[in-house]
Structure 1
Amino acid sequence: MNIYDIDTDEHLVPFEPSRERVRIEVGATVRSDKQNYQIVQLLDLQNVVGIEVESGRSVSLRISELEPVEQERVDGLYVNYDISTISSDEWAIAQQRFSAIKPLLRDSVLPRNSVEERAKEVGVDAATLYRWLDRYQSWHEVLALVPRKRGWQSGNSRLSAQADDLIGAVIEEHYLTTQRRSIQSTIKEIETQAKALGLTPPSASAIRTRIKRIPEKVVLRRRGFADEARNRFTPSVGKFPGADYPLAVVQIDHTPIDLIIVDDRHRKPIGRLWLTLAIDVHSRMITGYYLALEDPSEISVGMCLAHSILPKESWLNLHNVRGEWPVWGFPRTVHTDNGPDFQAENFRRSCSNYNIENQFRPVKRPKYGGHIERLLGTFMRELHELPGTTHSSVPDRAGYDSDKHAALTMSEFEEWLVKTIIIYHNRVHSGIYMPPARKWHLGFFGSRGVDALVSVPPRPADPLTVQLDFMPSYRRTVQHYGVQLDVYYYSEALRHWIGTTDPATGQARKFVFRRDPRDISVIWFYDPVLKQYFRVPVANQAFPAATLWEFRAAKKQAVDEGRQHIDEALIGRLILERRQIVNDASASTKKARRDAQKHKVHTKNITPARPVKERVEAVPSLLTGEGQLLDDVDLIGDIQ
């Protein structure tokens, strides 16, 4: 069996990341059922009224079905890149530029003198600061501020400098005025002035693109809607410092739940689960969670935040819950403790690219995590009503056998958890004197005589891009056998990069790979030229789908047993043997049942970006029906 013959069409289908967002704002253009609409009214967090651009017909649109109008791709700009491909020096420059413009992003009104004053403070021209602002506000990524490639011209535009200046001047003096002239009128004015100057008139599409890139709050302010701009884009001051509006501060923390659960097969106790929970401090809404049998890690934090950011409609369907969980969007600040899982470099970089600030709780100052602590306490009290509870203290457990009374499986508990979250959102909260769902709604829509605090957050258009951003990343070289990351991986997508060197250093070139430790049968390769991801499977297709924890346990067993040649075939066989032992012992030992349940949970491969039910698939095996090792598998080499 040759490793170059194992590829399938599935692994050659590229995935192009996109961090586009669907703007849920009056005046925004969105796409639904292959038609473009302009939003004219926000009804609630489920529906808007849109006018079809071509026909002028008004229709009610479901927010969950809206898509962004595709942005024009700009070559040479570092947007939608994998964050780990950016060098530390380039990233430092991008962050420095973002720090320069960050104070200006908070204002709904941006007078020129404010920009000029800030430009003097940071030591750059006002035009440069405007250019950085334009780049960031067009793409909402700090990556857009990474220095462009050498030799690439500003804007990559076919317009001459004179034509470009003319467009800017007419937009400033003709379009952005209280006269509220139309875009078509602006195009005609530019054409007239261009001819008078002896210039070739810019195309209408180029002019429309420039107008579309102007931040909406600037358009509202300059065209005479100052009050609306202020109400929709300027947050009000609240009681909790920093948590003045929805998604201003999201707190995340882990806890073992006070409940013994049972396995799916024998319905016998297997211990407690770990819950990672995220809460919006302003409204007390739960924005996301992650439930696991393993101890908290970087993947726990990443999946919880991804779940927090992404819409929840499909997640409710997955768990058969009828209700509403209208929470999505990128938080301004993520507030956590100082654990290494929250300090991971990839997690912090990805947060920074989305303009999410990481704040860490002062050491030994638990009151700074009070909101999430109280929420977790509330959920633990709810749990104490369930069979199998461990209660919260030894006196409370006196005379109660948690293992004996345990009754819920992990999936049954998760369904209970989601339903409880919905109930909690609609129950009066003693700290805010109203249900969290009501507080959340008021933050975006206000009430009679009370202005809204902020606009409805844009929805991420591509869930998988968000999830990949928060998955652990690695840098590896590509060799003739593919790439090694614990095991060996190969795909035709890697062939072009075999043995390549970095032109800047002359050293072997390293590429970015991302992997979910819950399934090491595949990794994601980021092609630095195509700017696309490819799924790369294990080179030895007989290797079973396994978690990183299973792999490490099997490898440790091989080392402890003094095996001479520790390769993938051996480790794969040990993984399957260990699973068989676990299955045989699961009727009698809690640890075996827990391990068996872990395997079952991970084979479902349900993630925030892929909330679908389990599919029944054949699992590759290293063993034949007679228990013999397959003899047609080429071994690539020893495991390092």
Structure 2
Amino acid sequence: MTAAIDLTQVSEADWARARDRLAVIRRLAKATERTREDVAQAASQIGCSVSSTYDLLARYLAAPQLTSLLPQQRGRKQGKSMLAPEVAAIINQVTEDMYLTRQKPRVSDLVAQVHIRCRAAGLAVPSRGAIERRLGARPASEVTAQRHGRKAARDRFAPAAGSLEAPWPLSLVQIDHTLVDVIVVDSQTREPIQRPWLTLAIDVCTRCVAGLHLSLEPPSATSVALCISQAALPKDAWLAERGIDGAWPVHGIPERLHLDNAKEFRSEALRRGCEQHGIAIDHRPVRTPHYGGHIERLIGTMMGKVHLLPGTTFSNVQAKGDLDPSRSAVMTLEEVERWLGHAIAGVYHREVHRGLGVPPLAAWEKGISGDDQVLGRGSPTTVSDPRRFLIDFLPIARRLVRRDGVSLHSIGYWSDVLSTWIGHAEPMIVRFDPRDLSRIYLLGPDGTYYDLTYRDLRRPPISLWEHRAALKRLREQGHAHVDEAAIFRAVEAMREIADQAAHTSKAARRQKERRRMVQQKQAVAAPAAPAPLETNDLPANGQQPHEQMFPFEEWN
């Protein structure tokens, strides 16, 4: 079995080369009849020999992923430099101080200055090639920005206006966040908590909602990962779990994501996960809000519908008037999520979209199956392993496997499989879900993610925000060194305080509701079949929630 590739050790140059190979090899793999001439033509396009191209094709057919096309490393391990640390530090310092300036000196000037500094320090002089390799490892966009200015970098590397064209379903998906204009309540006390955050994904071609994620937490790399996962997977189980009787056929791996420049959209986990599954990323040019028009209009449409709900804050003071949203709030986070599901599957997807002239659902079906005039794209690329797909987008850490297991966030984790890798020389990749730290995922040398649980199984599930709050509390109390037991004692103390203050403090109710969601996630190991809607869940006229809404105008 092929050893797993350490994604954090792959250079930018190798990733770029694999991306260049992907389009050519993918096209070659799809050809039903391949001749040697076809392979020779592909070899000339990617700059390889014919035999090497055959080898790349075989590797891609065995595992159709971008990592199959990475250059195979020989000799010393990738990332292990032969340069002395002192020499490497001089190269970096001279590059920053002299080369990356608006004076735009030549590479030969950089090499000469590095040689002067090294001789003065009594160090071995590096070759020009070693210096150029270190320079080439820097992002080209950043080098251009520092030597020629930000405008030059945008003109050269920013997406062109035509890149927003989406000729078929899932060719381009936009994602963004918004605070929902409604206050949710605690599920037990029914006291107001806060406005939740909504992450939405829209398929630009059909204007269908591709996916969503609703949370009390501010936008993060995890909320983006959960939205992408929900967008790529079939929605039948999601709808059934919430008792929604409607069709939401949008699923499949998108070809490109169009995102703004927020921190969560530039995370390493998101970038590596997208490239692993062949998803391209385009970032919106700075100060060009019109590039995100489709997702912005969708958010505006959904917020217009939300203004019908009790507890709405509306979008401005004039519309709000003297209404107190906290007093009228009655819906929990789960109920708002269920309502949004009805609004999307039952209303938005079925109303005529003014920009398309047809409902988004009809546009999706036409884009997939085609008609007498347009050839459909066919079935979308499905996710073969949903668990692995989500894990590929979760935050990354690297940890050594020791005799007592793996330590992450000062918490010990263990699984019997770790006994195989005790003493492994290099740190291993670990991914974690910030919503629930009771389980993490270690990438083994065989390319499989293994579940690790608390070493002490008596510990309760906690989230990363609880963990950080506990650390802050302990440090405020003067604890310089924090161990696992102290963290969980602090979490338990904070939970007791939150329970006692639940009726008097919004912040405490918010903490309690977040904790309940972590415990609920932990308890649902094998979800049962969803129960039908209760009679008392429906309004007096017997209509579904989405049937109570009024039509809203769609913008072009």
What TM-score comes out, normalization by structure 2 length? 0.74
CA shift for structure 1 position 95 = 4.1
Q: Secondary structure at the match of 1:305?
A: helix
Inter-partner Cα distance in structure 2 for 1:292 and 1:611 = 22
Residues 477-512 of structure 1 deviation map (CA, whole Å, 9 limit, x = unaligned)? 1222222111121222222322332xxxxxxx1111
More displaced, 100-109 or 286-295?
A: 100-109
Inter-partner Cα distance in structure 1 for 2:178 and 2:503 = 28
- Are 1:525 and 1:536, in contact at CA under 8 Å, matched by a contact in 2? yes
Inter-partner Cα distance in structure 1 for 2:8 and 2:487 = 35
Inter-partner Cα distance in structure 2 for 1:135 and 1:610 = 36
Inter-partner Cα distance in structure 1 for 2:43 and 2:35 = 13
Q: Secondary structure at the match of 1:407?
A: coil
- Are 2:255 and 2:278, in contact at CA under 8 Å, matched by a contact in 1? yes
With over 3 angstroms needed to count, the CA separation of the structure-2 counterparts of 1:540 and 1:610, relative to structure 1, is: closer
More displaced, 410-419 or 597-606?
A: 597-606
Pairing partner for 1:358 from 275, 281, 284: 281
With over 3 angstroms needed to count, the CA separation of the structure-2 counterparts of 1:362 and 1:606, relative to structure 1, is: farther
Pairing partner for 1:325 from 248, 273, 295: 248
- Are 1:480 and 1:498, in contact at CA under 8 Å, matched by a contact in 2? yes
With over 3 angstroms needed to count, the CA separation of the structure-2 counterparts of 1:241 and 1:499, relative to structure 1, is: closer
Q: Secondary structure at the match of 1:541?
A: coil
Q: What residue is the counterpart of 2:213 in the other structure?
A: 290
Q: What residue is the counterpart of 1:594 in the other structure?
A: 510
Q: Secondary structure at the match of 1:347?
A: helix
Q: Secondary structure at the match of 1:288?
A: strand
Q: Secondary structure at the match of 2:318?
A: helix
- Are 2:25 and 2:60, in contact at CA under 8 Å, matched by a contact in 1? no
Inter-partner Cα distance in structure 2 for 1:405 and 1:444 = 43
CA shift for structure 1 position 350 = 1.3
Q: What residue is the counterpart of 1:270 in the other structure?
A: 193
Q: Secondary structure at the match of 1:296?
A: coil
Paired AA for residue 143 in structure 1: T
Q: What residue is the counterpart of 2:405 in the other structure?
A: 482
- Are 2:210 and 2:250, in contact at CA under 8 Å, matched by a contact in 1? yes
With over 3 angstroms needed to count, the CA separation of the structure-2 counterparts of 1:465 and 1:445, relative to structure 1, is: same
CA shift for structure 1 position 112 = 6.6
Inter-partner Cα distance in structure 1 for 2:270 and 2:217 = 19
- Are 1:278 and 1:289, in contact at CA under 8 Å, matched by a contact in 2? yes
Pairing 1:566-577 to 2, within 5 Å after superposition: 566-577=482-493
Higher relative contact order (CA 8 A, sep 6+): 1
Inter-partner Cα distance in structure 2 for 1:464 and 1:546 = 21
CA shift for structure 1 position 129 = 2.9
Pairing partner for 1:457 from 380, 383, 386: 380
Q: What residue is the counterpart of 1:522 in the other structure?
A: 439
Residues 134-176 of structure 1 deviation map (CA, whole Å, 9 limit, x = unaligned)? 533553201222345879xxxxxxxxxxxxxxxxxxxxxxxxx
Instruction: State the percentage of identical aligned residues.
Output: 36
- Are 2:405 and 2:418, in contact at CA under 8 Å, matched by a contact in 1? yes
CA shift for structure 1 position 454 = 1.0
Inter-partner Cα distance in structure 2 for 1:606 and 1:431 = 43
Q: What residue is the counterpart of 1:3 in the other structure?
A: none
- Are 1:605 and 1:614, in contact at CA under 8 Å, matched by a contact in 2? no
Q: What residue is the counterpart of 1:159 in the other structure?
A: none
Paired residues in the alignment total: 439
More displaced, 298-307 or 109-118?
A: 109-118
With over 3 angstroms needed to count, the CA separation of the structure-2 counterparts of 1:539 and 1:611, relative to structure 1, is: closer
Q: What residue is the counterpart of 1:88 in the other structure?
A: 10
Inter-partner Cα distance in structure 2 for 1:295 and 1:613 = 30
Task: Give yes or no for the alignment of 1:99 onto 2:20.
Answer: yes
Paired AA for residue 99 in structure 1: D
Paired AA for residue 21 in structure 2: A
Q: Where does the alignment leave 5 or more consecutive residues of structure 1 unmatched?
A: 1-74, 152-238, 502-508, 616-640
Inter-partner Cα distance in structure 2 for 1:261 and 1:614 = 26
Q: What residue is the counterpart of 2:183 in the other structure?
A: 260
CA shift for structure 1 position 86 = 6.2
CA shift for structure 1 position 533 = 2.5
Q: What residue is the counterpart of 2:415 in the other structure?
A: 491
- Are 1:85 and 1:511, in contact at CA under 8 Å, matched by a contact in 2? no
Inter-partner Cα distance in structure 2 for 1:539 and 1:104 = 45
With over 3 angstroms needed to count, the CA separation of the structure-2 counterparts of 1:559 and 1:97, relative to structure 1, is: closer
Q: Where does the alignment leave 5 or more consecutive residues of structure 2 unmatched?
A: 76-161, 531-556
Pairing 1:108-147 to 2, within 5 Å after superposition: 116-137=40-61, 139-147=63-71
Task: Give yes or no for the alignment of 1:579 onto 2:501.
Answer: no
Inter-partner Cα distance in structure 2 for 1:103 and 1:436 = 33
**Would you tell me which structure has more helix in proportion to its own residues?**
2
More displaced, 482-491 or 463-472?
A: 482-491
With over 3 angstroms needed to count, the CA separation of the structure-2 counterparts of 1:614 and 1:414, relative to structure 1, is: farther
Q: What residue is the counterpart of 1:415 in the other structure?
A: 338
Pairing 1:176-325 to 2, within 5 Å after superposition: 241-325=164-248
Task: Give yes or no for the alignment of 1:541 onto 2:428.
Answer: no
With over 3 angstroms needed to count, the CA separation of the structure-2 counterparts of 1:118 and 1:242, relative to structure 1, is: farther
Q: Secondary structure at the match of 1:520?
A: strand
Pairing partner for 1:424 from 348, 351, 358: 348
CA shift for structure 1 position 84 = 4.4
CA shift for structure 1 position 103 = 4.8
Inter-partner Cα distance in structure 2 for 1:112 and 1:346 = 39
Inter-partner Cα distance in structure 2 for 1:360 and 1:285 = 21
Q: What residue is the counterpart of 2:471 in the other structure?
A: 555
Inter-partner Cα distance in structure 2 for 1:383 and 1:498 = 53
Q: Secondary structure at the match of 2:433?
A: coil
Q: What residue is the counterpart of 1:188 in the other structure?
A: none
Inter-partner Cα distance in structure 2 for 1:328 and 1:130 = 33
With over 3 angstroms needed to count, the CA separation of the structure-2 counterparts of 1:429 and 1:611, relative to structure 1, is: farther
Inter-partner Cα distance in structure 2 for 1:564 and 1:456 = 57
Inter-partner Cα distance in structure 2 for 1:547 and 1:319 = 24
- Are 2:20 and 2:46, in contact at CA under 8 Å, matched by a contact in 1? no
Inter-partner Cα distance in structure 2 for 1:471 and 1:346 = 6
Paired AA for residue 595 in structure 1: Q
With over 3 angstroms needed to count, the CA separation of the structure-2 counterparts of 1:565 and 1:472, relative to structure 1, is: closer
- Are 1:481 and 1:490, in contact at CA under 8 Å, matched by a contact in 2? yes
Q: What residue is the counterpart of 1:445 in the other structure?
A: 369
Q: Secondary structure at the match of 1:277?
A: strand
Paired AA for residue 144 in structure 1: S
- Are 1:101 and 1:132, in contact at CA under 8 Å, matched by a contact in 2? no
CA shift for structure 1 position 93 = 3.1
Q: What residue is the counterpart of 1:39 in the other structure?
A: none
CA shift for structure 1 position 453 = 3.1
CA shift for structure 1 position 132 = 2.5
- Are 2:18 and 2:67, in contact at CA under 8 Å, matched by a contact in 1? no
- Are 1:100 and 1:118, in contact at CA under 8 Å, matched by a contact in 2? no
Residues 346-395 of structure 1 deviation map (CA, whole Å, 9 limit, x = unaligned)? 21011011111010001111100000000000000001111111111111
Residues 59-98 of structure 1 deviation map (CA, whole Å, 9 limit, x = unaligned)? xxxxxxxxxxxxxxxx33x6xx4x6456314x74354144
Q: Secondary structure at the match of 1:248?
A: coil
Q: Secondary structure at the match of 2:244?
A: coil
Inter-partner Cα distance in structure 2 for 1:481 and 1:379 = 50
Inter-partner Cα distance in structure 1 for 2:379 and 2:522 = 28
With over 3 angstroms needed to count, the CA separation of the structure-2 counterparts of 1:124 and 1:564, relative to structure 1, is: closer
What TM-score comes out, normalization by structure 1 length? 0.64
